Amino acid sequence: MGRPEPRVDGRLKVTGNARYASDFPVANPAHACLVTSAIAKGRIVSFDLDDARAVPGVLDILTHETVGNEVHEPKFFGSGGTASTIHRPLSSAQISHAGQIVAIVVADTYEAAREAAYRVRVTYEEEDAATTLDSDGVETLPATKVRKEHKNPRVGDAAAALRAAPVTIDAVYETPTQHHNAIELYATTCVWSGEQLTVYEPSQFVHALKHAMAEQLGIDAEDVRVISPYVGGAFGSKAAVTPRTALVAIAARRLNRPVKLVATRAQGFTIATYRAETRHRVRLGAQRDGKLTAYVHEGWEATSRLDDYLVGGTETTAHIYDVPNVSTRVNVVRTDRATPGFMRSPPEVPYVFALETALDELAEALDMDPIELRRINDTRNDPITGAPYTSRSLMACYDEASRAFGWRRRNLPPGSMRDGDWLVGWGCATAVYPTFMGAATARVRLARNGATRVEIAAHDLGTGAYTAIAQTAAERLGLPVAAVEVLLGDSALPAAPVAGGSNTTASCCNVVAKACDGIRRRLVRAAMRADRGPLRGRKPSSVNFVDRHIAGEDGAKVSLADAFDMLGAPMIEEYAHWLPHGMEPDALKKLHLGSAALTGGAMEDRIAAAFGAELVELRVNVYTGELRVPRIVGAFAAGRIVNPRTAHSQYVGGMIWGIASALHEQTELDRRVARYVNTDLAEYLIPVNADVPDVQAILVSEEDRLVNPLGIKGLGELANVGTAAALGNALYHATGRRIRKLPLRIEDVL
Amino acid sequence: MRPFLYERATSECAAVQLAASGAPAQFLAGGTTLIDLMKLDVLRPARLIDINGLAAGAAGLIEEREGALRLGALVDMAQAAEHPVVRRKFPVLADALRQAASQQVRNMASLGGNLLQRTRCPYYRDRSWPACNRRKPGSGCGALHGQNRGHAVLGVSDACIATYPGDLAVALVALDAVLEIIGADGARTMGAAELHRLPADTPHVETNLAPGQLIAAIRVPAGPWTRRSLYLKVRDRESYQFALASAAVALDLSDGMVRHARVGLGGVATIPWRATAAEDQLVGRRLDGELARATAEAAFAAARPARHNAFKLGLGKRTLERALLQAAQMEL
Ligand SMILES: Cc1cc2nc3c(=O)[nH]c(=O)nc-3n(C[C@H](O)[C@H](O)[C@H](O)COP(=O)(O)OP(=O)(O)OC[C@H]3O[C@@H](n4cnc5c(N)ncnc54)[C@H](O)[C@@H]3O)c2cc1C
Ligand code: SF4
């Protein structure tokens, strides 16, 4: 652990041998193609399917007339269920969002299915749809109304503190709709064998998908197996179960033949989830020396009519700085859109953008270096509860990032740095991500020759989970990483939490280490009891597993093979479960039912979070307003780093995401009809290589003895937090113009 | 995609003969526009005539004849962008090609196909949008009051405001390029500027090519302005995006005075736009910041913005201004 091991699955991936969901060969599959709604609200009056049926090879067309109530209503994951929405397409003629599934064509070939899908004619009765935050017909409700558990963090008397503050900021910020757009499309293959269903689908939570199928199809969970060993990017979009899976299962059952669906890129914008647009009003009060006295944050988030999805990011932002008076409030705005869902740092990306921009405005008002402002308001304790941080290295991150960036050379006044035709601005912002962990189980088997197998239904979304888990087992058992085989992404394996909230490394490495410790105990006991054994009579705590041996401090050692012989068994298998601090005792039971419960962040007795500091240079062309980012430096501290190589890649990728969310990504809506417009990767912009020439990630060392036994904090969602604010702040520094709405674009600065 | 008949032609003659007989056909070159739009069910040709075999003949060559450049229609974009004569003597063409699409697309795509690429208007490309006059004549224009950040401000009509997205054609119209056209009834030439039609009331009639006519080559005359030429392209990201605004500029200067000027505009117009009003401003004057500004004003005098693309007026002007001043500073 701690070494920059190359990914154990790297070779498989670059040679095309890693099997993603739609790569699994199944016997004689039929191919499905979706037909999606052209309207956002209303009902289907009729279908004309003659043309579609006439396409050679078409086998079946599913509509609400054929499916109806065959899918049982699932429970929304936000209410403890597994589903991304309670909406059941094909259950009725009702249309509740644009691009919802209205029919599924199944044919012998993909081409025939797609052609027939184009030939399906649907007649709608359309009603006016409410599109977004300020549209006619939306319904705005306080988050506490729609979700009982929602808490609006508050402390002190923020209103009074604001009134008394000599310096205040009061501004409104907005963030746009965004879509995950993982490279791997939404794919599902369903295969029935009698009563048993096998689902091949890229998943961030195979146990949830398994139980969702049981729930939605009315079958026994033990008859469902979900296989998802590799996932080509997910970012939250493959965590909650979308409606398509049950429909593909039904299509396969009707035909008594495997059915394979790979939705198109454009359909991916509407059959799954997205990051909803948000608005924020942030008010800050401070003393002239920069000490914050008040923080008031009200947020509005778009959601659907059916599910009360919300991110409530003040649950993160209220705990970051030392402010004695905090008041927050979150509202949901119900629109005629699909239900949003988790997308990499769901609460943090929008809410931290608002707070970190407001802080920059405050620094400006105080005529103060923005990093200094953050130093003045740094804290070791949760300002809301007073509980201590398990560890916190925010200012160390700023120090290391500043040094690498050369922040000292920054001119304070905006518009004062220029290079030829380019105005230059330097901005900074804090990155933060609460540390989450979940109950987990794992099985580890060690054979006499050192061959180790780790089984855990965790998920590798491309992040490096296989490698981190292999490293953990290898270290615990004193073996090379190559001796460890790791099996993930299969609901037949011991349950592991959702790959969400960046908890996988913390949860899974801890439980795998625990299982390994079980193996160690048995071998050590055998070695210590063995007659004439070199370790006879030692204390268990005095030996370690190194280099295929059990070694005492004085150099005495027993090889693994000998220890096995002393034990009299060819192999040991250990099953372990692990409950993180603060987790309810029934968490394991819930985990086995596919519940995504996690613990962490601001808890009663402590608060756990990873921090980072991001410094960026933004250039604005004085003539054309082009915005370019020649360099970005981020320094991050996230407890113990299991693998600096994969951590580095998460940080670099995260900062690139951050640049995208600041300058490029926006799903554009046609507000008249609540439909997305730019639904392909030519028009939904993300940075290309030329946009990210210099991205530097610094790993700041941090030891956390409290957060969990291995001291690991999640970091996958850390680095794309704050980037957008840093860029907006840099834009202000370059031009003197404050843009409070993302993305920052040419038209904003011309 | 709908079923289609696939045929292969190995000569210009054979290609146009095939096209002239039987069900309506489209020529298939790189397919980066055609196959894409067929998959989206926007184009539904009954027959494809693969003309890639023509690349073995003159249609695959880049030649310099008596100072003029002849680019075969099946030369791929990458090859043309990297060609030493194109780069040295017609830098505006090399610039326009180099900044178009991605290396992968440029390797696949032909010059002829590039000229005939279709608009990126999302209401056109997604057939589930009910209104698009270009795709479905008489159905209305979805973009006019919808999302139109990428749309045109010059040459628009109430029927269509779609931007012509290509880069190369903008440079070609500026340089008075000529297309060699072959039909079943023989060969002829056509000015590059005549290829595309303003949308007016019939946006679905996109070009003046008759069905079955083949572009065999592009001829670019050399002039005293072709060496001092460049293409400036502005977009949200550094690469792999269509132009928000672009300018193709070619100047013949003598002691700072403009003797000849050629100006094309991209990303802002419904067709590859020749800005003759701008050229008139320039000729006979000293090219300084003020003249560049006045020229840009003249170029956009007739512009008509929609809701989200009003910024293209300012952006288009500044892009042209920059291009003029940069061209004036080019070292030859
Ligand atoms: C993601 C993406 C980004 C892009 N970005 C840019 C960009 O930034 N700038 C830019 O300029 N372009 C861009 N393009 C467009 C690309 O350059 C064109 O698709 C390409 O040049 C078309 O050439 P092709 O050979 O593939 O044509 P095809 O797709 O084969 O044909 C296109 C059309 O031309 C017709 N045709 C082809 N050759 C002839 C001929 N010789 N005579 C008569 N008719 C013919 C075909 O019948 C068809 O109607 C982009 C494309 C993609 C997919
Ligand atoms: S702008 Fe033209 S292409 Fe776009 S919707 Fe209108 S008519 Fe169709």
- Beta-carbon separation of A691 and B239 below 8 A: yes
pLDDT over threshold 90, residue A141: yes
A630 lies in some domain = yes
Do A413 and A542 share a domain, yes or no? Answer: no
Do A717 and A573 share a domain, yes or no? Answer: no
Task: Give the ipTM of the model, two decimals please.
Answer: 0.96
Q: How far apart are CA A688 and CA A638, in angstroms?
A: 28
Q: What is the DSSP letter of A503?
A: -
CATH architecture of B224-328: 2-Layer Sandwich (3.30)
pLDDT over threshold 90, residue A511: yes
Q: pLDDT tens for residues A181-230?
A: 999 999 999 999 999 999 999 999 999 999 999 999 999 999 999 999 99
Average pLDDT (A314-325) is 98
Identify whether the C-beta of residue A560 lies closer than 8 Å to the C-beta of residue A550.
yes
- Mutating to test ligand 2, I would choose from B118, B121, B127, B135 the residue with most ligand atoms within 8 A of its C-beta, which is B121
Q: How far apart are CA B322 and CA A621, in angstroms?
A: 11
Q: Which of A56, A78, A33, A25 is nearest to A247 (CA)?
A: A33
Q: How far apart are CA B299 and CA B312, in angstroms?
A: 12
Average pLDDT (B207-229) is 97
Ligand 2 centroid to residue B5 C-alpha, Å:
29
Does A108 lie at the interface with B, CB-CB under 8 angstroms? Answer: no
Confidence at A11, pLDDT banded by 50, 70, 90 = very high
Confidence at A531, pLDDT banded by 50, 70, 90 = confident
Do A430 and A446 share a domain, yes or no? Answer: no
3-state class (DSSP) for residue B295: helix
- CATH code, A112: 3.90.1170.50
Ligand 2 centroid to residue B119 C-alpha, Å:
9
Do A205 and A316 share a domain, yes or no? Answer: no
Fold of B63-116+166-221: 3.30.465
Final residue belonging to a domain, choices A220, A249, A271: A271
pLDDT value at residue A1: 87
- Spell out which residues of chain A touch residue B1, defining contact as CB-CB under 8 Å: 111, 114-115
Whether ligand 1 lies within 6 angstroms of the CB of B261 is answered as no
pLDDT value at residue A576: 98
Half-sphere exposure of A527 (CA within 13 A, CB side): 28
Rg (chain B; Cα; Å): 19
Confidence at A538, pLDDT banded by 50, 70, 90 = confident
Do A619 and A730 share a domain, yes or no? Answer: yes
pLDDT value at residue A46: 98
How high is the mean pLDDT of chain B? 97
- Beta-carbon separation of B128 and A36 below 8 A: yes
How high is the mean pLDDT of chain A? 97
A416 lies in some domain = yes
Does A746 lie at the interface with B, CB-CB under 8 angstroms? Answer: yes
- Spell out which residues of chain A touch residue B132, defining contact as CB-CB under 8 Å: none
A76 lies in some domain = yes
A134 lies in some domain = no
Question: Which phi and psi angles does B75 have, rounded to 5°?
Answer: -65, 135
Question: Which phi and psi angles does A695 have, rounded to 5°?
Answer: -120, 115
A731 lies in some domain = yes
Do A85 and A207 share a domain, yes or no? Answer: yes
- Mutating to test ligand 2, I would choose from B126, B127, B132 the residue with most ligand atoms within 8 A of its C-beta, which is B132
- Spell out which residues of chain B touch residue A675, defining contact as CB-CB under 8 Å: 129
To the nearest whole Å, the CA of A132 is away from the closest chain B CA by: 14
Question: For chain A, what is the domain count?
Answer: 3
- Beta-carbon separation of A690 and B314 below 8 A: no
- Beta-carbon separation of B126 and A663 below 8 A: no
pLDDT over threshold 90, residue A510: yes
**Which helix (H) or strand (E) segment is A614 a member of?**
strand A609-621
Final residue belonging to a domain, choices A271, A298, A327: A271
Q: What is the DSSP letter of A744?
A: P
Q: Which of B12, B327, B141, B277 is nearest to A672 (CA)?
A: B141
pLDDT value at residue A112: 98
Do A346 and A363 share a domain, yes or no? Answer: yes
Whether ligand 1 lies within 6 angstroms of the CB of B32 is answered as yes
SS (H, E, C) A383-423: CCCCCEECCCCHHHHHHHHHHHHCHHHCCCCCCCCEECCEE
Confidence at B175, pLDDT banded by 50, 70, 90 = very high
Does B44 lie at the interface with A, CB-CB under 8 angstroms? Answer: no
Which of A139, A215, A717, A747 is labelled catalytic?
A717
- Nearest residue (CA) to ligand 2, atom 6: B141
Out of B1, B236, B322, the one facing A685 most closely (by C-beta) is B236
Q: What angle do CA B200, B204, B209 make, to 5 degrees?
A: 95
Minimal-distance CA residue of chain A relative to B40: A118
- CATH code, A472: 3.30.365.10
Pairing of strands A196-200, A154-155: unpaired
| Cβ-based neighbours of A531, under 8 Å, separated by 6 or more | none
pLDDT value at residue A586: 93
Q: Where are the domains of chain B?
A: 5-51, 63-116+166-221, 224-328
Does B289 lie at the interface with A, CB-CB under 8 angstroms? Answer: no
Do A237 and A265 share a domain, yes or no? Answer: yes
- Domain containing residue A221: 10-129+179-271
> Per residue in A88-122, is it b (16+ CB within 10 Å) or e — as a string?
bbbbebebbbbbbbbbbbbbbebbbbbbbbbbbeb
Q: pLDDT tens for residues B56-102?
A: 999 999 999 988 999 999 999 999 999 999 999 999 999 999 999 99
> Virtual CA dihedral for A659, B163, B297, B287, nearest 10 degrees?
80
Tally of CB atoms within 10 A around A137: 14
Residue for token pair 């905090």: A326
Confidence at A537, pLDDT banded by 50, 70, 90 = confident
- Beta-carbon separation of B237 and A266 below 8 A: no
Does A111 lie at the interface with B, CB-CB under 8 angstroms? Answer: yes
Question: Which phi and psi angles does A504 have, rounded to 5°?
Answer: -60, -50
pLDDT value at residue A562: 96
SS (H, E, C) A428-474: EEEEEEECEECCEEEEEEEECCCCEEEECECCCCCCCHHHHHHHHHH
Do A113 and A191 share a domain, yes or no? Answer: yes
Q: What is the pTM of this model?
A: 0.97
Q: Which of A101-110, A142-151, A591-600 has the highest mean pLDDT?
A: A101-110
Report the atom number in ligand 1 closest to the C-alpha of B77. 21
pLDDT value at residue B332: 86
Tally of CB atoms within 10 A around B106: 21
Confidence at A532, pLDDT banded by 50, 70, 90 = confident
Identify whether the C-beta of residue A227 lies closer than 8 Å to the C-beta of residue A193.
no
Q: pLDDT tens for residues B18-55?
A: 999 999 999 999 999 999 999 999 999 999 999 999 99
Minimal-distance CA residue of chain B relative to A115: B1
3-state class (DSSP) for residue A124: strand
Final residue belonging to a domain, choices A217, A236, A271: A271
Q: How far apart are CA A729 and CA A356, in angstroms?
A: 9
A5 lies in some domain = no
Q: Which of A730, A734, A716, A714 is nearest to A662 (CA)?
A: A730
Q: Give the percent of chain A with pLDDT over 70.
A: 100
CATH architecture of B5-51: 2-Layer Sandwich (3.30)
Amino acid at A549: H
Ligand 1 centroid to residue B109 C-alpha, Å:
6
Identify whether the C-beta of residue B75 lies closer than 8 Å to the C-beta of residue B53.
no
pLDDT value at residue A672: 97
Confidence at A127, pLDDT banded by 50, 70, 90 = very high
Identify whether the C-beta of residue A721 lies closer than 8 Å to the C-beta of residue A638.
no
Do A102 and A169 share a domain, yes or no? Answer: no
Structure tokens at B165: 């997205």
Q: List all residues of chain B from 21 to 40 with a beta carbon under 8 Å from chain A.
A: 39
Do A373 and A251 share a domain, yes or no? Answer: no
Is A301 labeled as catalytic in the residue annotation?
no
3-state class (DSSP) for residue B87: helix
Do A302 and A348 share a domain, yes or no? Answer: yes
